[in-house]
Amino acid sequence: MDLFLTLLAISIVGVCGSTKTELPPISHTMFPEGFIFGAATASYQIEGGWNADGKGPNIWDNITHERPSFVDNNDNGDVAADSYHRYKEDVQLLENIGFQMYRFSLSWARILPNGRVNNVNQPGIDYYMNLIDELLAKGIQPMVTIYHWDLPQDLEDIGGWTNPEIVNIFEEFADLVFQTYGDKVKWWITINEAFMVTRGYGADMFAPAAYLDLHGIVEYQVARNLLLAHARAYRLYQKKYSHQNGKLSMAFAGYFCIPATDHLADIAAAERCYQHTYGWFAHPIFVGDYPSEMKKRIDLISKLEGRNASRLPPFTQDEIDEIRGTADFYGLNHYTTNLAADGVDQSSSDPNPSSASDTGFISSADPSWPDGAASWFKVVPQGIRLHVKKICEEYGNPEIIVVENGYSEDGSNFTHDPGRIYFLETYLGELRESIYTDGCNVRGHITYSFLDSFEWKGGYMDKFGLVSVDFNNPNRTRTMKNSAHWMRNYIEMHKIYYQ
């Protein structure tokens, strides 16, 4: 193969009629051999079948049925892309595009209708087994997310992620799924975006939109339980399932910021933006305990508020040790970049603190950054490279897989989505720089989303899919967008070089 690349380089030089070429080295235009390309979805966003074959209700079923206006256009996931019934078509499309990995999540209440292992729903177990078998038969590796935001309603009724008992309950669920699927699944994400899960408690960004008057306190309790639940699942796998040879991580999320100016205060604000969001979860796992500046800041603010204890409850040394070292790779969710300035966002009329106000940054965007359809979305390719570099530096160059990255449009041009192609081409290009120029250990890229899907509070208007779904058609007809065709060629190119 080296000879092939050498000959290719010689032929390019020849065509240019010069012995000195300005082209980058061929290795910079390709990903390293073994680099994985995948696509991802999440159960509530695509499956539908909300009460099919014994599935129990979850917090998203509940909030969309009880409070339809919670979601734009009163949309819900009752049918969504109907992947519960159409998964074979989905796998066929994944194969057509050439993906080597499919990341999907388990609907907890489909497997355990009331969230507990004393009541297992066999059709739910079978659904995921069939999906996994279908993927493996086509040579596509499953990456399974155990929890992507659809908590069984019965568990929410006992306090959901605020109740410390959830740590044991999650461990039991993880035990069941490792035991059931672990022979076939080698890639696991315990929890998707723990940071965003905190935004459903004390804030109404996501279901259950509960404990709104406890913000500033409840987010930190929830985060603590999420980290302990993750660590339990990881330790359990180490003890009981290490022979399955799988790799586990979380999918980390938050805000990635660059300073709005080069003033020291804004540089510090950008650092806080990272440490209080991504770092809140990644630091305990890769280094141990919460980031020290985060602890100091919340301790101080709590004192100034006249409290005798910090709103950020500390971990014990045993808990720090239990959580540290519980990831085999860094699962990175990255979409956009923000500019950070020092200060507190004054748009909220609520004078009480929250985890967001504790962070103390005002977010903005550079006017030159192109928009996506989602209100928070800006296209900033260089951001992903800076972000990956930050991870390498903070956590000792871990193996990184980008487990979510993608672009939203409004779908008005149906399958014509040049914005998504531009996004993927430029972000993937920056990732190559992360690998070859910055020396970071990036092993894969997973596009979000494989299908147009239920985009949480945005309903069906924000379209993240490589594949369009006709939500007005009972057959939920799927059509590959131009970006899916582009992706197929992109992956195929790599096969040509590395087969």
Instruction: Please pick, from the candidates 42, 111, 209, 298, the single residue that binds ligand BGC as defined by CB under 6 A.
Output: 42
Separation between Cα atoms, residue 30 and residue 283, nearest integer Å: 31
Query: Is 193 an annotated catalytic residue?
Result: yes
**75 contributes a contact to ligand BGC by CB under 6 A:** no
Output b/e per residue, 375-412; b: 16+ Cβ within 10 A.
eebbbbbebbbbbbbbbbebbeebebbbbbbbbbbebe
State the nearest-atom distance from the C-beta of 253 to ligand BGC, in Å: 6
Query: Is 33 an annotated catalytic residue?
Result: no
State the nearest-atom distance from the C-beta of 318 to ligand BGC, in Å: 31
Of 376 and 436, nearer to ligand BGC (C-beta) is: 376
Of 333 and 468, nearer to ligand BGC (C-beta) is: 333
Instruction: Kindly report the three-state secondary structure assignment for every residue of the chain.
Output: CHHHHHHHHHHHHHHHCCCCCCCCCHHHHCCCCCCEEEEECCHHHHCCCCCHHHCCCEHHHHHHHHCHHHCHHHCCCCCCCCHHHHHHHHHHHHHHHCCCEEEEECCHHHHCCCCCCCCCCHHHHHHHHHHHHHHHHCCCEEEEEEECCCCEHHHHCCCHHHCCCHHHHHHHHHHHHHHHHCCCCCEEEEEECHHHHHCCECCCCCCCCECHHHCCCHHHHHHHHHHHHHHHHHHHHHHHCHHHCCEEEEEECCCCEEECCCCHHHHHHHHHHHHCCHHHHHHHHHCCCCCHHHHHHHHHHHHHCCCCCCCCCCCCHHHHHHHCCCCCCEEEECCCCEEEEECCCCCCCCCCCCHHHHHCEEEECCCCCCECCCCCCECCHHHHHHHHHHHHHHHCCCCEEEEEECCCECCCCCCCCHHHHHHHHHHHHHHHHHHHCCCCCEEEEEEECCECCCCHHHCCCCECCCEEECCCCCCCCEEECHHHHHHHHHHHHHHHHHC
Site string for ligand BGC, 96-115 (x = CB under 6 A): --------------------
CB 53 within 8 A of CB 122: no
Best CA proximity match to 431, nearest among 418, 440, 423: 440
State the nearest-atom distance from the C-beta of 43 to ligand BGC, in Å: 10
Of 73 and 292, nearer to ligand BGC (C-beta) is: 73
**43 contributes a contact to ligand BGC by CB under 6 A:** no
Of 211 and 335, nearer to ligand BGC (C-beta) is: 335
- Near ligand BGC by CB under 6 A, which window of 192-200, 210-218, 227-235, 294-302? 192-200
State the nearest-atom distance from the C-beta of 432 to ligand BGC, in Å: 23
State the nearest-atom distance from the C-beta of 333 to ligand BGC, in Å: 6
Site string for ligand BGC, 289-328 (x = CB under 6 A): ----------------------------------------
State the nearest-atom distance from the C-beta of 160 to ligand BGC, in Å: 18
Site string for ligand BGC, 349-388 (x = CB under 6 A): ----------------------------------------
Separation between Cα atoms, residue 231 and residue 7, nearest integer Å: 50
**192 contributes a contact to ligand BGC by CB under 6 A:** yes
Region 423-452 residues binding ligand BGC, contact defined as CB under 6 A:
448
- Near ligand BGC by CB under 6 A, which window of 54-62, 81-89, 189-197, 429-437? 189-197
State the nearest-atom distance from the C-beta of 168 to ligand BGC, in Å: 25
Catalytic residue among 134, 219, 404, 430: 404
**146 contributes a contact to ligand BGC by CB under 6 A:** no
Helical pair 83-97 and 482-498, crossing angle rounded to 10 deg: 50
Instruction: Please pick, from the candidates 91, 196, 197, 421, the single residue that binds ligand BGC as defined by CB under 6 A.
Output: 196
Instruction: Please pick, from the candidates 266, 404, 430, 452, the single residue that binds ligand BGC as defined by CB under 6 A.
Output: 404
Of 45 and 326, nearer to ligand BGC (C-beta) is: 45
Of 266 and 452, nearer to ligand BGC (C-beta) is: 452
**193 contributes a contact to ligand BGC by CB under 6 A:** yes
State the nearest-atom distance from the C-beta of 354 to ligand BGC, in Å: 19
Instruction: Please pick, from the candidates 111, 155, 228, 253, the single residue that binds ligand BGC as defined by CB under 6 A.
Output: 253
Of 150 and 175, nearer to ligand BGC (C-beta) is: 150
Of 61 and 455, nearer to ligand BGC (C-beta) is: 455
**Rounded to 5 degrees, what are φ and ψ at 141?**
-75, 130
Catalytic residue among 193, 219, 394, 430: 193
Give the β-pairing of 187-192 and 257-259: unpaired
**455 contributes a contact to ligand BGC by CB under 6 A:** yes
- Near ligand BGC by CB under 6 A, which window of 14-22, 46-54, 190-198, 388-396? 190-198
Q: Which residues are catalytic?
A: 193, 404
Q: Point out which residues bind ligand BGC (CB under 6 A).
A: 42, 45, 192-193, 196, 253, 333, 404, 448, 455, 464
